[in-house]
Every structure is written in structure tokens, then in C-alpha cells.
């Protein structure tokens, strides 16, 4: 991002103590380490002070050098038009053209979209193999035949069918919320090298929120509500030969993040091999279905038997938002969607749960390490 006059004013304000813009995580970290934020130079968007800036200041005794280099922003006319249509500022986009000029694909990447790949009109047509020309058929491997007719389902697929049929008799509804993941992403970068997985982070944050809302961890029984003593977070995993299974992170609210990650790394390969014990996939009290790795923007999950709610987690993508200072800024957000059993979980219950989950992910990420 270029170093503009606006950024300069932000840095000067941070340096003189007039106005400090810092992430909640950075503020908490600075307080713990006794760092004066007024003396720290922010390297985040719009000069925002991040946790890395505080760590650097604590390690070196001084604030890190400015991350921005003064330069004029140039862009092609089509890139300018595209950026305007997507609500992006050219100053927030990294150019890959000559002398840093911003190209249309740079805008698409900044918006979290796939760049356009143009075909080379001068490229030679694909070579015709002997098999394609009617010659030696052994020269090229034959394409896999397309499925046809009726293929019997395996045991796992049949179990999924049975479970989904059960959900048709349950009155359910959905509630969605966008959650900013900048702080969670920062924490993940710090603990990834220690073996922590994003799945464990999501499970831990969800379990902590469930601890504040027992009704979300409960399930309906005939004319009653069964409150579960443990918070066991199940996470859906697709099987290679069809169907899905939900390995369970038991007592996720009471288990530390590193132990959860080790358990998850043990469960997944055994799940794919069909070697899980019954209590390792059938004791979940709340389920997470995460399709974020596939770039899915939003989706709805079907409620599994014996549970009151399931949460669908979509991809975290760059999003333009109106900040508290009145300026438009870029953050990363993911949409989570709850599917709830309306017989005992009401809309307000789901909404309050999402409020606390968002607060943990956006403002209290340090609590995930406790």
C-alpha cells in the first residue's frame, strides 16, 4: 500500500499520542508488555498498529520502521473503473504492471476474486496424439469412463441419507453473521509453527461461546430439553469414497489449543481410513461444517440427529467496510450460518451466541491461548 498524506497524518498522530489506531489484540498485547502505543509505528491498513508492530517494538526497544514507501499510484483506465465498481481504493491495491502500475487483475485479486487468464492467440493448437488420430491407441491413457446407470451406495452414504431424512421432521431455521477474522488470522500466523490448526482455533472459539450459551449445546427430547454436561465439538470431514464423518473434539472448552490441534491431527487421518472408534465420531453436541478452504461465500448445513445446532463456516475474504473513523477500509470477513432446532432454540438464542462468538474472534483472540 502506498505511503500517502493520510497515512503520514495517521503515523504522526500515533507518534505524538494525539490519536492511536490499533487493533484490540495489539492494545492488549501492548498493555501486557508495557509498550507505549504512541511510540509504535503501525504497518497495517491506514497506519493501524498490529500485534506484529507491538512485538517488534518490544523485541527491539523501538518502533518498527515505516512499512510504506512514498510513490505515485498509477493504474490503467480499466483498472480504475473496475476498482470504483468494487468500492476499492487504488491506494489499497498492489500493482504488478510496469513500475508498479495497477492492472485489472490486481483489482480482482484485491477484491478476493480469481484473476482473468487470457488465451494466447499465437499459441499453437494442442498436438494430436496417435490415439486421437486413429493410430496406436496405447500412446495415450484412455479417459476414465463417465458414471452411468445406478451405483449402490456404501454404508457411509446410506447413513448420511438416514440422518438427512431425520432432519426433515425437525422445524429448523437459519441465522447468519459476518465475522471479521483479521485478529484470528494474526494469531494463526503466530501459532501455526507450533502445530496449531485453523480447525482447532475455530473449535476452541466455538466451544468458548457455547459455554456462555448452554441452550446451543443442548438437544430436544420428547417434551424436554437435554442439557449436555460436556461441550463436544464435531467437525465434518468428507470421505474419499463418498459420505462424510464428524470426528469429535471432546470437552473442547476445557482443552488447551495445542492439545486440540494434536487431537485433530490424529483424528482426521484415522477418519479417512475408517478407523475411528464410535465415541470419536458419535458424541458431538454441536457440529461445525467448514467449506472455507474451497472459497465458498456462504452455505447452509443440515441439522444432524441428536443435536440442537450446526454451524456452516464459509471462506474469509477481503471485504470493504465502513470503519469507526468514517473511512472505508479493507478487512477479511467470513460468513457463518447457524441451522437450529426451533423446538428449543429460538432466534434470539442463536443471535446472542453469534454475538459472543464474533467478539471472541474479533476482539478476544488471546483468550484462545488460555
Q: Which residues are catalytic?
A: 342
C-alpha separations of 76 from 73, 79, 101, 103, 318 in Å = 10, 5, 7, 6, 22
Task: Compute the chain's Rg from CA coordinates.
Answer: 25
Identify the DSSP state of 101.
-
CA angle 202, 112, 318 (to 5 degrees): 55
Residue labelled with grid coordinates 448452554: 214
C-alpha separations of 361 from 151, 201, 230, 260 in Å = 44, 9, 22, 17
Cell of 200: 482447532
Say how far apart CA 204 and CA 190 lie, in whole Å. Answer: 16
Nearest Cα neighbor of 156 from 243, 75, 97 is 243
Give the DSSP per-residue string, 26-94.
HHHHHHHHT--GGGPPP-SGGG-B-HHHHHHHHHHSSPPPP--------B-HHHHHHHHHTT--GGGS-
Say how far apart CA 158 and CA 133 lie, in whole Å. Answer: 44
Beta strand residue intervals within the chain, DSSP E: 172-180, 219-221, 224-226, 233-235, 237-238, 244-245, 248-249, 286-290, 309-313, 317-322, 328-341
| Contact residues for 130 (Cβ-Cβ < 8 A; gap 6+) | 136, 137, 139, 140
Whether the CB-CB separation of 355 and 213 falls below 8 Å is answered with: no
In 3-state terms, what secondary structure has residue 139? Answer: helix
Say how far apart CA 122 and CA 66 lie, in whole Å. Answer: 45
Amino acid at each position: 500500500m502506498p505511503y500517502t498524506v493520510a497515512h503520514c497524518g495517521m503515523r504522526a498522530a500515533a507518534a505524538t499520542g494525539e490519536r492511536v489506531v490499533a487493533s484490540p489484540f495489539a492494545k492488549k498485547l501492548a498493555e501486557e508488555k508495557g509498550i507505549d502505543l504512541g511510540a509504535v509505528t503501525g504497518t497495517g491498513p491506514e497506519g493501524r498498529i498490529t500485534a506484529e508492530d507491538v512485538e517488534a517494538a518490544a523485541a527491539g526497544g523501538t518502533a518498527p520502521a515505516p512499512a510504506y514507501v512514498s510513490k505515485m499510484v498509477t493504474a490503467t483506465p480499466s483498472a480504475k473503473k473496475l476498482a470504483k465498481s468494487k468500492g476499492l481504493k487504488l491506494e489499497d491495491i498492489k500493482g504488478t504492471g510496469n513500475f508498479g502500475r495497477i492492472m485489472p487483475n490486481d483489482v480482482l485479486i484485491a477484491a478476493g476474486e480469481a484473476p482473468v487468464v487470457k488465451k494466447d492467440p499465437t499459441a499453437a493448437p494442442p498436438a494430436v496424439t496417435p490415439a486421437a488420430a486413429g493410430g496406436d491407441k496405447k500412446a495415450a491413457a484412455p479417459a476414465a469412463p463417465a458414471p452411468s446407470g445406478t451405483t449402490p451406495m456404501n454404508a457411509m452414504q446410506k447413513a448420511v441419507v438416514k440422518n438427512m431424512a431425520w432432519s426433515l421432521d425437525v422445524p429448523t431455521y437459519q441465522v447468519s453473521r459476518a465475522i471479521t477474522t483479521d485478529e484470528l488470522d494474526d494469531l494463526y500466523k503466530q501459532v501455526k509453527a507450533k502445530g496449531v490448526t485453523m480447525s482447532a482455533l475455530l473449535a476452541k472459539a466455538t466451544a468458548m461461546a457455547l459455554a456462555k450459551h448452554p441452550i446451543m449445546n443442548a438437544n430436544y427430547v420428547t417434551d424436554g430439553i437435554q442439557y449436555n454436561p460436556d461441550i463436544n465439538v464435531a467437525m465434518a470431514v468428507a470421505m474419499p469414497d463418498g459420505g462424510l464423518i464428524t470426528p469429535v473434539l471432546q470437552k473442547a472448552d476445557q482443552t488447551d489449543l495445542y492439545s486440540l490441534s494434536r487431537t485433530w491431527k490424529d483424528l482426521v487421518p484415522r477418519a479417512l481410513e475408517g478407523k475411528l472408534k464410535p465415541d470419536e465420531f458419535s458424541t458431538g453436541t454441536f457440529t461445525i461444517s467448514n467449506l472455507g478452504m474451497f472459497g465458498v461465500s456462504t452455505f447452509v448445513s443440515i441439522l444432524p440427529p441428536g443435536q440442537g445446532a450446526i454451524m456452516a463456516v464459509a471462506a474469509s475474504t477481503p471485504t470493504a467496510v465502513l470503519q469507526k473513523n468514517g473511512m472505508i477500509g479493507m478487512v477479511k470477513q467470513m460468513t457463518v450460518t447457524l441451522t437450529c432446532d426451533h423446538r428449543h432454540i429460538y432466534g434470539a438464542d442463536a443471535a446472542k451466541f453469534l454475538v459472543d462468538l464474533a467478539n471472541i474472534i474479533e476482539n478476544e483472540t488471546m483468550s484462545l491461548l488460555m
